[in-house]
Structure 1
Amino acid sequence: MDLFDSLDVEPREERLGPGAVVLRNLARDRAAAILAAIDPVLAAAPLRRMITPGGSPMSVRMSNCGALGWTSDRRGYRYVERDPLDGRAWPPMPDLVREIGRDAAARAGFPGFEADACLINCYEPGARMSLHQDRDERDFGAPIVSVSLGLPAVFLFGGPVRKDKPLAIPLRHGDVIVWGGPARLHFHGVRPLQDGEHPLTGHFRYNLTLRKAG
């Protein structure tokens, strides 16, 4: 059992504020199937460390599936229809991934959510995500759905201003966090991942972030 595991595996909700909710264990029973579903995605579009506009490599390895994929390089952050590595369209989003996004959004109060982009993040021990807003999407009216698989992490959820003190939220394997509406542009990030081993993902944490980008 890892640091943040719990004997309670029933789905339950934790409201963080207007528009934001943690759905504990929502993806736990489907986690192995979700990981199997993204295996061919990552075979077709391998994980890579993207470069920030300032020229620094990110500590998290990333890939995409869906009609649009998020990318970053010296030209900036943006969504593109084709993988910059090979010019091919991103792999289709697996039905199960789309389904968990739709289910989580509805439970959080955002029915009718249909993601067209899924960013797949792979965290190794020490990898982190600094506080940031998701502002590259055209539609801020749709929520963001973030699925945690593998090693536990501490998610930082702040306010609409960077200097707002963020909540530190432990996320375990199978937890899903959704934010939208008044919380859609809140700053968020992830503390450096602690070392550990998970029976399904080994020394890694996978995070699937679903968005309506186009």
Structure 2
Amino acid sequence: MRNTRTLTHRAVLAAASVTAALVLAACGDGGDDSGSGHAGGHPSASSPTRSAASTGAHNAQDVSFAQGMIPHHRQALEMAALAAGRASSPEVKDLAARIEKAQDPEIRTMSGWLTSWGEDVPASSDGSAESMPGMDHSGRSGAHKMPGMMDGSDMEKLEKASGGDFDTLFLTMMIEHHEGAVDMAGTEKDKGRYGPATSMADDIVTAQTAEITEMNKLLDKS
């Protein structure tokens, strides 16, 4: 009788152990399922990264756009910086400040693109148009061949002007400068591949076309 009770007790313990093992296994499987859920989520989470990588491809036009627009923008900043101490029109000073605010960040952004692509970032000028890449008239493409760029004599005239004369000269030169930038940006929109670059080009066309209209109105008033 005692043996029977002992065997029965052992059978109960064995059954309980099996049940516990099954419960633990089930919990473990649930944990694995949860982990698999996360793992399963990673591909979808990383899909945007893969998508960004594919849409982040660039071509030679994107490089040309950035390498050309950087010195183009830098010259616009040089011109705009002169307005604070030389312009007489509050509207001209305000326009110059807006040009600086818009184009300086764009220079930094384009420089970042070129660096990430392993391409050369145009060297900063020392304040004169001649020091910009390509201004040595060596025959290589450069700033002097970009539409709307001013040469050294143009910049010298602007630096020497003041008051109403400065306003008129600044507006006249900046209109031409903007028209060149719009032309360059239009080429990027048509032939570029890198999404952020074509998007910036679109912004440049929109913003600078509006500023050309504004400057023409200011010229009519002067």
TM-score, length basis structure 2: 0.23
Larger Rg: 2
Higher strand share: 1
- Structure of higher RCO (CA pairs closer than 8 Å, 6+ residues apart): 1
TM-score, length basis structure 1: 0.23
Higher helix share: 2
